């Protein structure tokens, strides 16, 4: 096992714990001494991720699902661009979860991600996810109107039921060979303000700005409360949530890359071995090719 800089326990959300995001740091930790060391650490982990993905694909026994959640501007796109850039595109796909369409609204909310789960040997990255159904929908309960749900006594019962369904869904995935790693990118309200201003003041970033982000920003406390309840309710030993300080992008990227690389290495994946009878024929195959 290669040595890693980040201790998963530092970032992992414990199942059922009382979570106060305002008490968790959003700035870089002391594992790395500045941005340059962060880039160096990321580069090393990218090499390990490439090797791990190669073994994941070759062995064909396991798969990986990575879920990225966070407030607007928390850096989800940047994580995807920088952490997964070294992976083979043939074995990795990114799915962005926007507002559900009419077909998706006609099904149980967990029908939507089923179509995008990674087959054996492959990696799926969810940019937002089915967790929107206990986050955005919780902050905007009017979105439930379009779902034509069975009657429920109170909203709190609905959220608890959905937490339970998510836990069971992820338990099934893990038991069938899919690793589920979930990252909440923890950005401060002040840093979000800076990033929104940058999008407005930089012509090349105008396309990133959405006026709706300003309206959602006014609901910061409501979103924070939704995350504070959802993360501990759905973080399990098999499918943990990690809260990643995200004010410093270089630190968030290095941390996520390191935690994913460490997890994949813990699986002890190996390249398939050729049986002895077939291996004995290789000398003849080599001789045949050399004599062409």
Whole-angstrom distance, CA of residue 264 vs CA of residue 51: 10
Percent of the chain scoring above 90 in pLDDT: 94
Output the average pLDDT for the chain.
Answer: 95
The pTM assigned to this predicted structure is 0.94
What are the tens digits of pLDDT across the range 193-250?
999 999 999 999 999 999 999 999 999 999 999 999 999 999 999 999 999 999 999 9
Asked whether residue 112 carries a pLDDT value surpassing 90, the answer given is yes
Tell me the pLDDT band of 153, cut-offs 50, 70 and 90: confident
* Residue 1's pLDDT band (cuts 50, 70, 90): low
pLDDT at 86: 81
- CA 111: distance to chain centroid? 19
pLDDT of 178-197, one tens digit each? 999 999 999 999 999 999 99
Structural domains in the chain?
A: 8-290 (3.40.50.300)
pLDDT bracket for residue 2 (50, 70, 90): low
What pLDDT score was predicted for residue 229? 98
In this prediction, residue 152 carries a pLDDT of: 84
């Amino acid at each position: 096992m290669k040595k890693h800089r980040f201790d998963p326990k530092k970032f992992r959300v414990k199942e059922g714990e009382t979570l106060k995001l305002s008490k968790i740091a959003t700035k870089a930790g002391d594992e790395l001494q500045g941005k340059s060391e962060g880039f160096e650490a990321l580069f090393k982990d990218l090499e390990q991720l490439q090797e791990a993905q190669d073994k994941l694909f070759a062995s064909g026994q396991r798969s990986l699902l990575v879920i990225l959640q966070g407030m607007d501007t928390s850096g989800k796109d940047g994580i995807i661009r920088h952490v997964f850039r070294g992976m083979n595109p043939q074995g990795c796909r990114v799915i962005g979860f926007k507002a559900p369409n009419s077909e998706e609204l006609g099904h149980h909310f967990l029908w939507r991600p089923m179509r995008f789960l990674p087959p054996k040997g492959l990696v799926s990255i969810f940019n937002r996810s089915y967790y929107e159904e206990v986050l955005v929908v919780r902050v905007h309960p009017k979105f439930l109107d379009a779902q034509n749900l069975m009657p429920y006594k109170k909203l709190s019962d609905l959220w608890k039921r959905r937490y339970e369904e998510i836990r069971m869904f992820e338990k099934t995935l893990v038991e069938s060979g899919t690793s589920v790693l979930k990252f909440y990118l923890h950005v401060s309200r002040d840093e979000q303000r800076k990033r929104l201003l940058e999008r407005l003041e930089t012509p090349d970033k105008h396309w990133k700005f959405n006026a709706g982000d300003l309206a959602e920003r006014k609901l910061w406390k409501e979103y924070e409360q939704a995350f504070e309840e959802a993360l501990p309710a759905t973080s399990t030993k098999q499918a943990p949530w990690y809260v990643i300080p995200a004010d410093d992008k270089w630190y968030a990227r290095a941390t996520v890359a390191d935690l994913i690389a460490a997890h994949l290495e813990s699986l002890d994946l190996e390249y398939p071995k050729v049986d002895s009878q077939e291996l004995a024929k290789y000398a003849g195959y080599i001789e045949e090719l050399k004599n062409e």
